[in-house]
């Protein structure tokens, strides 16, 4: 069902209820670092929730400014992540501060994880994760430890919805470029 939707029916909004645990038991695909969380109408979602090291909250706000500057300076700095959206939150539970990182990607976490680690290490975008309790200190040289932490702290969703299901960010950008190109063409026809 999903393949048909992905290739033919992007105009038909779709919702998928996901079993407890985050996988469809009859179609679990094995990735290099473990089972791959399924693609849904909203593409590949990832949600990390982890407690921050007490007293480091300001580092998260500095991190936000760093990301803003990095993307403004080099718009493709995060391209390797194959992203649609990212959202970062801080919130409190019983006096402890928690960090939430939610992303929508066009590829499953497993495929380009090492590239993501390399990007973080190369650009200094890593600081926010280093302020999370339990994050491996040797993550720059130990991708497996980074991956384990992220997988351990991922909270799979149980419902996902897509207004234009399964469409990638590149496809959206292509469609908008095409629209712009047609606009220019019509201008030249005047």
Partner 1 sequence: MLELDDIQHFLMARPHAMVARYEFLSFKQPAGGRAWVGGIIDKVGVASVVRAASETESRWVTVAFTWNGLRALGVDEDSLASFPDEFRQGMVARAEVLGDTGQNDPANWVDGTASPELHAIAILFARDIPERERCRAEHGQFLAQCPGVEVISSLDLEATPPFEYAHDHFGYRDRLSLPAIEGLGGDVPTPGSGHPLKPGEFFLGYPDENGPTNGLPKPEILSRNGSFVAYRRLEEHVGKFRDFLKQHGETPGEQELIAAKLMGRWRSGAPLVLAPEKDDPELGADRQRNNNFDYGKMDPHGYAAPLGSHIRRMNPRDTAANMNRRRMIRRGGTYGPALPEGAPDDGVERGIASFVGCASLIRQFEFAQNVWVNDKNFHELGNERDPIIGTQDGTLEYKIPKRPIRKKITGLPSFTSVRGGAYFFLPGLKALRWLAALGESQPTN
Looking at the DSSP bridge assignments, the partners of residue 31 are: 34
Judged by CB under 8 A, does residue 12 bind partner 1?
no
User: What Å distances lie between residue 138 and 46, 128, 173, CA to CA?
Assistant: 23, 15, 37
Q: Which CB, 53 or 121, lies closer to partner 1?
A: 121
Q: Are strands 83-93 and 44-51 parallel, antiparallel or unpaired?
A: unpaired
- CB burial readout 29-52, b (16+ within 10 A) else e: eeeebeebbbbbbbbbbbebebeb
Residues 131-170 that bind partner 1 (CB under 8 A): 138, 140-144, 168, 170
Judged by CB under 8 A, does residue 80 bind partner 1?
yes
Residues 27-56 that bind partner 1 (CB under 8 A): 29-33
Q: Which CB, 138 or 187, lies closer to partner 1?
A: 138
When binding is defined by CB under 8 A, the residue of 23, 98, 112, 164 that contacts partner 1 is 112
Those residues whose C-beta lies under 8 Å from the C-beta of residue 158, and which sit 6 or more positions away, are 17, 18, 19, 20, 22
What minimum distance in Å lies between the beta carbon of 169 and partner 1? 10
Judged by CB under 8 A, the number of residues near partner 1 is: 28
Judged by CB under 8 A, does residue 75 bind partner 1?
no
């Amino acid at each position: 069902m999903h393949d048909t939707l992905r290739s033919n029916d992007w105009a038909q909004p779709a919702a998928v209820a996901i079993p407890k645990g985050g996988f469809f038991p009859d179609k679990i695909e094995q990735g290099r670092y473990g089972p791959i969380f399924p693609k849904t109408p909203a593409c590949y979602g990832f949600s990390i929730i982890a407690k921050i090291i007490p007293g480091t909250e300001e580092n998260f706000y500095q991190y936000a400014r760093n990301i803003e500057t990095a993307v403004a300076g080099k718009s493709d700095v995060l391209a390797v992540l194959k992203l649609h959206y990212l959202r970062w939150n801080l919130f409190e539970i019983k006096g402890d501060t928690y960090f939430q990182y939610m992303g929508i990607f066009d590829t499953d976490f497993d495929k380009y994880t090492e590239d993501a680690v390399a990007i973080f290490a190369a650009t200094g975008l890593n600081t926010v994760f280093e302020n999370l309790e339990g994050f491996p200190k040797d993550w720059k040289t130990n991708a497996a430890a980074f991956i384990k932490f992220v997988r351990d702290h991922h909270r799979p969703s149980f419902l996902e919805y897509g207004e234009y299901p399964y469409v990638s960010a590149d496809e959206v950008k292509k469609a908008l470029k095409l629209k712009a190109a047609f606009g220019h063409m019509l201008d030249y026809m005047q």
